[in-house]
Amino acid sequence: MIKIDNLHKKYGKNKILTGVDLEIPEKGIFAILGPNGSGKTTMIKSILGMVVPEKGDIFIDGQKTHSNGLYRKNIDYLPQIANFPGNLGVKELIKMIKDLRDTKADENALIQRFGLTPFLDKKLSNLSGGTKQKVNLVLTFMFDSQIIILDEPTTGLDPVALLNLKELIAEEKAKGKTILVTSHIMSFVEGIADEIVFLLEGKIYFKGSIQQLREKTNEVDLEHAIANILKENNA
């Protein structure tokens, strides 16, 4: 379980998060939505301790997060932009991350699943954006942690890989994991999320199920419901 308590963060004068309180339940898929620059990534990075908040606390399984970052052992994180050291090969990178984390990992099934076998010996700088994202997914899902955080997991993926990803997320959910995901692809979110949080101007605007959001905005599909919120707030 993740609990966020009164989280504040600004970059210079630019206030990104202004008092976020959130409780993410033990099991299920939790989607964080919001317009560009609403603080989705900042919130995720705060949970991971990559961003140092001005104010507020974050608790994971009741334990306050420590600045040494060792609690990340129980979190699998997929960064938004798949940036890797260019002079490493795919295989080397996987090996390195396994070595650094020092936990059990099962990468072979995932490599098969995303069809990465022909790329294993290629340098990361020579891979296309979509292939890099697949590598990114392998690196995230090869560990068996209780919490999975995915920042824009669909970026650059082809339809086959996207289906694979959806299946993968469903499988992880079935194992009883907590999955936190941000995305701009509403159909993707609609298909997988149990609960959504809508961030607007650094605050939580809405939290609940997709059904509740539809009722609140009198719209049939999620895309229109979100657009409705944004228009109302001139965002």
Partner 1 sequence: MLKILKYSFYDLIRSRWSYVYLLFYLILGFVLLFLNNDLSKAVITLMNVIIILVPLIGTIFGVMYYYNSKEFTELLLAQPIKRSSIFIGQYLGVALSLVMSLVIGLGLPFVLYGLFESSAIWDFSLLLITGAMLTMIFTALAFNIALYNENKIKGFSYAILLWLFLAVIYDGLFLLSLIIFETYPLDKFTLIATVFNPIDLSRILILLKLDISALLGYTGAIFNQFFGTSIGLFSALGMLLLWIILPVWNIKRKAQKKDF
* For partner 1, the closer CB: 70 or 170: 70
Q: How far is the CB of 60 from partner 1 (least distance, A)?
A: 12
Q: How far apart are CA 196 and CA 207, in angstroms?
A: 6
Residue 19 vs 86, nearer CB to partner 1 = 86
The answer to whether 48 contacts partner 1 (rule: CB under 8 A) is: yes
Q: Identify the residue among 5, 15, 27, 51 touching partner 1 (CB under 8 A).
A: 51
CA distance 47 to 220: 33
Contact by Cβ (8 Å): 18, 203: yes
Ordered alpha helix ranges (H), the chain? 40-48, 90-101, 108-113, 129-141, 159-174, 186-192, 210-217, 222-232
Quick note: the x/- pattern for partner 1 over 170-209, rule CB under 8 A, is: ----------------------------------------
Distance of closest approach, residue 80 Cβ to partner 1, in angstroms: 10
Report yes or no: 207 and 197 within 8 Å, Cβ to Cβ.
yes
Q: Which stretch binds partner 1 (CB under 8 A): 50-58, 110-118, 152-160, 181-189?
A: 50-58
Largest alpha-carbon pair distance within the chain? Answer: 52
* Coil, helix or strand at residue 230: helix
The region of 77-85, 192-200, 211-219, 220-228 touching partner 1 under the rule CB under 8 A is: 77-85
Interacting residues with partner 1 between 84 and 123 (CB under 8 A): 84-88, 96-97, 99-101
Nearer to partner 1, 6 or 83 (CB): 83
Query: CA 33, CA 35: separation in Å to the nearest integer?
Result: 7
Q: Which is closer to partner 1, CB of 48 or CB of 157?
A: 48
Structure tokens at 29: 């898929």
Coil/strand/helix, residue 35: coil
Residues near partner 1 (CB under 8 A) are 11, 45, 48, 50-52, 67-73, 77, 79, 83-88, 96-97, 99-101
